[in-house]
Amino acid sequence: MQNKDIKRLSLFLLFAPFALWIILLIILPHIGMVILSLKEKVAPRVYEYSFANYLEFLNEPIYWNTLLRTGSMSLLVTALALLIGFPIAYYIAKIAGPRSRGGLFLLCLIPLWVSDLIRAFGWILLLRETGVISNFLQWTGLVGAPVEFLYNDVAVIIGLTYTVILFMIVPLVSTLDGMDNSMIEAGYNLGGNGFTVLRRIIVPYAMPGIVAGCIVTFMLTAGSYLTPILLGGKNSSWFTEQIYNQFITRFNWEGGAAFGMLLLLFTSLVIWLGLKLSGQTLANTVAKS
Amino acid sequence: MTDNSTYDLEAIGVSKNFGTFRAVKEVSFDIPSGSFFSILGPSGCGKTTLMRMIAGFEEPSGGDIKIKGKSVLGTPPNKRNVKMVFQHLALFPMMNVYENIAYGLRCNGVGTAEIKRKVQDVLDRIALPDVAEREIHQLSGGQKQRIAIARCMVLDPDVLLLDEPLGALDLKLREAMKIELKLLQHQFNTTFVYITHDQSEALVMSDNVAIMNQGEFEQIGTPQDLYHHPKTAFVAGFVGDSNRWSGVVKASDGTGGKVETEQGLPMSFSSAGKQAIQEGSRVTIFVRPEFIKTVRPSEAESTAEAGDNRMEGVVDSLLFNGANSRVLVRTGSGELVESDVTLTGDNDLKPGEDVQLVWSSRQAMCFADQGSA
């Protein structure tokens, strides 16, 4: 009997930190946010439950336009990360020799050691009016005056893609690594050309990794704050910026909470749609890798 | 017909080097249409490299490969009409059986109705007519095997390559698949090239077998030929079981003679592989267990004509395996000799009994050792 108690106690002790994390940092704050977002200020210090904050979002085009813009740009970043990340992952997993594989993988991970902030400043050094690229173009004589590359959508997309591409490469490498080389050879042997093998064999096989990578990069992009603000400036119109404004600038916590919930619902909806369209489930994509 | 196209596959002096390592050295062979050809060799002998060159995944460093009389050097793998069954089959797990078989047809631009007909046809021929809609993971090992073959055969290849496809199966299934493969080959009447390190697979199924060792073909022949008339010591040792003795030739008339083994025993032999054996040269003698008779001393007289070699020994142990039972006899000089026996369950040999081993010099295959006088 005593043995059983010890087992139960150890299970409880092991489970406690996890339960605390889930409850204190995820469930409770979100319940708080939901409650907060459903409150409406009717008079100083007087609140009523209503959907007013959500209605305000719908009635003000700038808000939902920003959300749609954030969503579509995040999708673009995800697609770019996939397009650039897939060949890199394929090279690491399938073409590179076993010795260079580890090194290449490490090279991909090294940028993670530097914070988002520093990485964004790196891009600023390159792209600003007095930055490396502008100076180089003047030196070659291609342009006569300094060029500003910062504070536009392209800079935001480049910066975001760079920030999140690692999270695309890692799951892709691990799925492609598990793919037997003879599968690819069989694809050629049975008469497929390079494109057929990629479309019919490699991509379907890597689908769980592709979907997992896309989910992670999309979530990170849509929820990112630093990179769009630093590289896009005041015109970046990222939805997280709206949330920040509600909380900090306007001190409208109720509105900010509603926006936060809307962002969560919106990204969840996009991911649900993505899973439906690709015929994958969360269980065999994110949970697997 | 002296026409080249009677050979489905020809290799002419094919070599492959990886850096300074020569994986395949000047291998030549030709395979007549519709036959079952095996390449048998220990791991690392270069047989997989050879097969990959035929399939087009590796370019030979030298020599030429012809399929149906046409050189395929420089032809990419997807343009060669050589299909391959991979070691782990490489069925596509994300497609069902129908899609797996249809894949190759789709690559060739065959119409949907035609694909449907051909897939059903090939499934009927492998006796699995109802599995088209199954997923790959729902199939048993033997079914996967047959689907992998069907996936290739539906494309009507000139040559089908099989890279140790039975390796992953359990023993019982492997035995059944051996027979099945042979039947399938007859049915499709396509040239099969089968790679294996398992001699029983090669011997049972093949019309011809090539023994490969260290990148070279040691001998090509029918299974019986290789077994009974090996040309080199490697073949004699690799194909089938053998007792072997090393010794020095004391007397030789060119085709046979007498040897004194390292243990100091006299032994008479016949020269194998049409080599002339010189007196005084160091040799290895191979005797297969089924040609050695184990008799009790009391019965020895009646077997006098059976063999001109004779050895005294004590039964060390019996290895009972039904019809393939063996007896291990420890001879006077301490070595163990294997001999086939028929155990009837009645008055059998028992460990500890004194016995005589008898065999004929015609069954003692003798090879001069490499690199000696």
User: Are A192 and B76 contacting, i.e. CB atoms less than 8 angstroms apart?
Assistant: no
Q: How far apart are CA B309 and CA B315, in angstroms?
A: 18
Choose, out of A175, A188, A189, the residue to mutate when testing the contact with B (most B CBs < 10 Å). Answer: A189
Q: Taking CB atoms and an 8 Å limit, are A189 and B55 in contact across chains?
A: yes
pLDDT of residue B38: 93
In the numeric block, which tokens belong to residue A143? 């342009």
A207 interaction partners in chain B (CB closer than 8 Å): 94
- What per-residue confidence (pLDDT) applies to B228? 87
Of B57, B83, B93, nearest to A190 by CB-CB distance is B83
Distance CA A143, CA A137 (A): 6
pLDDT in tens, chain B (373 residues): 344 457 889 899 999 998 888 899 999 998 988 899 999 999 888 898 999 999 999 999 999 999 888 899 888 998 899 999 998 889 999 899 999 999 999 999 999 999 999 999 999 988 888 999 999 999 988 899 889 999 999 999 999 999 988 877 788 888 888 888 888 888 888 999 999 988 888 888 899 999 999 989 999 999 999 988 888 888 988 888 888 888 888 877 766 778 888 777 778 877 665 666 777 778 888 888 888 888 888 776 666 565 678 888 889 888 888 888 888 888 877 788 888 888 887 777 888 888 888 888 878 888 887 654 3
How near does any CA of chain B get to the CA of A260, in Å? Answer: 38
User: Which residues of chain A are within 8 Å of residue B155 when distances are taken between CB atoms?
Assistant: 190-191
Integer angstrom CA distances of residue A227 from A222, B218, B324? 11, 68, 76
Name the residue among B76, B93, B103 with its Cβ closest to that of A190: B103
How would you list the strands of the sheet with B309-319, edge to edge? B293-295, B354-359, B309-319, B326-331, B336-340
The β-bridge partners of B268 are B258
Interface touch B78/A193, C-beta < 8 Å? yes
Greatest Cα pair distance in chain B? 77
Who among A192, A204, A207 is closest to B107 (CB)?
A192
Residue type (1 letter), A140: T
Alpha carbon B342 to chain centroid distance? 26
Residues sharing a CB contact under 8 Å with residue A27, sequence separation 6 or more, in sequence order: none
Contacts for B273 with CB less than 8 Å, ≥ 6 apart? B229, B230, B231, B232, B367
- Could B86 and A186 be called an inter-chain contact, meaning their C-beta atoms sit closer than 8 Å? yes
3-class DSSP state of B286? strand
Question: Torsions phi, psi of A53, nearest 5?
Answer: -65, -35
CB-nearest partner of A183 from B55, B57, B90: B90
Residue B311's nearest CA partner among B266, B351, B349 is B266
Taking contacts as CB-CB distances below 8 angstroms, the residues of chain B near A186 are 84, 86, 90, 92
Count of H helices and E strands in chain B? 8, 20
Q: Is B280 exposed, middle or buried (0-12, 13-18, 19+ CB in 10 A)?
A: exposed
User: For A238-249, what is each residue's pLDDT tens digit?
Assistant: 899 888 988 888
Tell me what pLDDT residue B118 has: 93
Instruction: Tell which wins on pLDDT, A280 or B304.
Output: A280
Give the closest-approach CA distance of A104 to chain B in angstroms: 24
Distances (CA, A) of B107 to A170, A181, A186, A203, B61: 32, 19, 12, 16, 30
Residue B356: DSSP 8-state: E
Residue of B nearest to A191 (CA): B78
Identify the CATH homologous superfamily for domain A54-278. Answer: MetI-like (1.10.3720.10)
Tokens 């030429």 found at:
B64
Please, are residues B83 and B157 in contact by the beta-carbon 8 Å criterion?
Answer: yes
A191–chain B nearest CA distance, Å: 4
Contact B90 A207 (CB under 8 A): no
Q: Compute the nearest-CA separation of A183 from chain B (Å).
A: 5
CA angle B344, B346, B349 (to 5 degrees): 85
Distance CA B158, CA A262 (A): 62
Q: How far apart are CA A169 and CA A105, in angstroms?
A: 9
CA of B54: which chain A residue's CA is closest? A189
Nearest CA-CA distance, residue A83 and chain B, Å: 22
Cβ neighbours for B124, distance < 8 A, ≥ 6 positions apart: none
What is the percentage of chain A residues whose pLDDT exceeds 70? 98
Which two tokens mark A236?
Answer: 């970046």
Specify the pairing of strand B208-213 against strand B36-40.
Answer: parallel
Residue A221 has pLDDT above 60, yes or no: yes
Which of the residue ranges A21-30, A175-184, B243-252 would you say has the lowest mean pLDDT?
Answer: B243-252
Q: Of A175-189, A229-243, B203-217, give the lowest mean pLDDT range.
A: A229-243
Which chain B residue shows the shortest CA-CA distance from A207? Answer: B94
Residues of chain A that touch chain B, judged by Cβ-Cβ distance less than 8 Å: 180, 182-183, 185-193, 196, 200-201, 204-205, 207
The span from the CA of A173 to the CA of A94, in Å, is: 9
| CA–CA separation, B58 and B44 (whole Å) | 16
Q: What is the pLDDT of residues A251-275, one digit of tens each?
A: 888 888 999 999 999 999 999 998 8
pLDDT recorded at residue A73: 93
Query: Phi first, then psi: what are they for B287, rounded to 5°?
Result: -130, 125
Residues in chain A: 289
Closest in B84, B88, B108 to A189, CB measured: B84
Say whether A192 and B103 touch across the interface (CB within 8 A): yes
**pLDDT at residue A213 tops 90:** yes
Of A182, A196, A207, the CB nearest to B107: A196
Judged against a pLDDT cut of 60, whether residue A160 lies above it is answered with: yes
Closest alpha carbon within chain B to A200: B103
Residue A205 and residue B155: Cβ atoms within 8 Å?
Answer: no
Does residue A90 come out as left (phi exceeding 0), alpha (psi in the -120 to 50 range) or beta?
alpha
**A51 contact partners, CB below 8 Å, separation of at least 6:** A38
Residue of A nearest to B156 (CA): A190
How high is the pLDDT of residue B307?
Answer: 67
Q: What helix, strand, coil percent values describe chain B, rounded to 5?
A: 30, 35, 35
What pLDDT is recorded for position A90? Answer: 93
What is the average per-residue pLDDT within A132-146?
Answer: 87
Write down all domains in chain B, each with its CATH number in brackets.
Answer: 4-233 (3.40.50.300), 241-373 (2.40.50.140)
Per-domain residue ranges of chain A: 54-278
Is the complex ipTM higher than 0.85? no
Record the pTM.
Answer: 0.80
Sequence-ordered list of residues with C-beta below 8 angstroms from that of A169, at least 6 positions apart, any chain: A85, A88, A89, A92, A108, A213
**Cross-chain residue pair A182–B86, CB shorter than 8 Å:** yes
Helix (H) or strand (E) holding A124: helix A116-127
Whether residue A188 and residue B76 make contact (CB cut-off 8 A), yes or no, is: yes
Cβ contact B228:B322 at 8 Å: no
In DSSP terms, A70 is beta-bridged to none
Chain centroid to Cα B94, Å, comes to 34
State in Å, rounded, how far the first CA of chain A is from the last one: 39
Fill in the amino acid letter for A166: L
What was the pLDDT predicted at B373? 35
Is A79 a residue whose pLDDT tops 70? Answer: yes
8 Å CB contact between A82 and A213: yes
| Residue A79 Cα, gap to closest chain B Cα (Å) | 23
Which residues in B have their CB inside 8 Å of a CB on A?
55-57, 76-78, 82-84, 86-88, 90, 92-95, 103-104, 107-108, 151-152, 155
Count CB pairs under 8 A between chains A and B. Answer: 61
Query: Which among B55, B88, B107 has the least Cβ separation from residue A191?
Result: B107
